[in-house]
Amino acid sequence: MTVAELAALAGGRVFCGGDVRVERVASVESAEAGAVAFVEEQKVLGGAGACRASCLIVPEGAGESARERERAVPAVVEAARPKLAFALVARALHPPKARGAGIHPTAVVAASAEVGEGAFVGEYASVGERARVGAGTQILAGARVGDEVTVGRECVLHAGVVLYDGVSLGDRVVLHAGVVVGADGFGYVRDPEGVYHKFPQVGTVRIEDDVEIGALSCVDRGALGATRVGRGTKIDNLVQVAHNVEIGERVVIAAQTGISGSTVIESGAVIGGQVGMGDHARVLSGAVVGSQAGILPGKIVRAGVWWGTPVQPLDEYKRQNAHVKRLPQMREELKELRRRVEELTARLESREGGDGSA
């Protein structure tokens, strides 16, 4: 790509060097000739050093400063959001690896299955009865598409993905290695003798367009209805989504989060790593839940930044945390106060004893 093409793709403005050609992205520190790098804030331009990139993406209004500081950089592009511009450029310069259309000889595809034009089914993968695989979808080594599963167009199922029977994926869904969609939810009923009996897990999972789910994450099927993951949502590695959970659009969920059954996460929410959610909780749009927070069953988390266990507004969490950090000091102060009280008590008792003897 030329820098001019790069700028048009990223919505930026060429400050200089529009005809310079680039072929890859890199960090400011590691960039060499032919690479594109970015600086997110003008104030850190000075720390970029002698950048060797062929093109530097900088904040709007920082072009002149970048050219003065980084004289070795042949081209500069200004962008309102340099990191976003860099991501768009990276996607164009480093497209995902795609296999040519076809079915590998070791794959097993049911006669009743439909595999769309341009789709690829890799080594030892399998596609079940009456399953439908959309055009351009990539099913990689060892993946399993169950019976009556629907997979949309241009999806990527990485190695070892398992789609249980009856689940559905929209278009451009990416499931990384080991993702399991549609396993039974964790639901049991205890009888008077203490024996656990499985509650029916006969629902399904619906994953909408442009969802990406990280390696070894699990999305359980609904008990009687559907578990849903909304359009554009991004889920990290090792996340558990339990039965009948409703996740809205453009939600971001970081690694090792566990979401209990029938919880609702509304569109646009952000969930940090290792968050635990009790059943029937609700996270409203605009909420940001910090790492390792604990949300009690039935709790409603409103818009704002939340932290801690049980989860609370960030300002309250900070005040509480400040008090907790003072506990060792308060302990010493309490010991000193106790010592003084005991000393004063002893003096008073001594005086009272002396008056009585007189």
Which residues are designated catalytic?
243
How do residues 251-282 score in pLDDT, each as one tens digit? 999 999 999 999 999 999 999 999 999 999 99
b/e burial code for range 343-354 (CB count within 10 A of at least 16 → b):
eeeeeeeeeeee
- Please report which confidence band the pLDDT of residue 100 belongs to, taking 50, 70 and 90 as the band edges: confident
Beta-carbon contacts of 118 under 8 Å, excluding residues fewer than 6 positions away, are 101, 135, 136
How do residues 5-39 score in pLDDT, each as one tens digit? 999 998 999 988 899 999 999 988 888 999 999 98
pLDDT of 64 above 80: no
- Residue that the structure tokens 């003072």 belong to: 326
Domain map of the chain by residue range? 3-93, 102-315, 326-358
Beta-carbon contacts of 97 under 8 Å, excluding residues fewer than 6 positions away, are none
- End-to-end CA gap in the chain: 105
Cis amide prior to 297 (ω within 30 degrees): no
How do residues 112-147 score in pLDDT, each as one tens digit? 999 999 999 999 999 999 999 999 999 999 999 999
What's residue 318's pLDDT? 83
How do residues 283-298 score in pLDDT, each as one tens digit? 999 999 999 999 999 9
What's residue 69's pLDDT? 57
- Percentage above 90 pLDDT, the chain: 74
Q: Looking at domain 3-93, which CATH architecture does it have?
A: 3-Layer(aba) Sandwich (3.40)
What's residue 358's pLDDT? 44
Strand partners, 120: 102, 138
Q: Looking at domain 102-315, which CATH architecture does it have?
A: 3 Solenoid (2.160)
How do residues 206-233 score in pLDDT, each as one tens digit? 999 999 999 999 999 999 999 999 999 9
DSSP states of 190-256: E-TTS-EEEPP---EEEE-TT-EE-TT-EEPPPSSSEEEE-TT-EE-SS-EE-TT-EE-TT-EE-TT
Q: What is the DSSP letter of 298?
A: T
Helix or strand holding residue 293 (H, E): none
Q: How many Å apart are CA 139 and CA 162, to the nearest integer?
A: 11
User: What is the average pLDDT across 302-307?
Assistant: 96
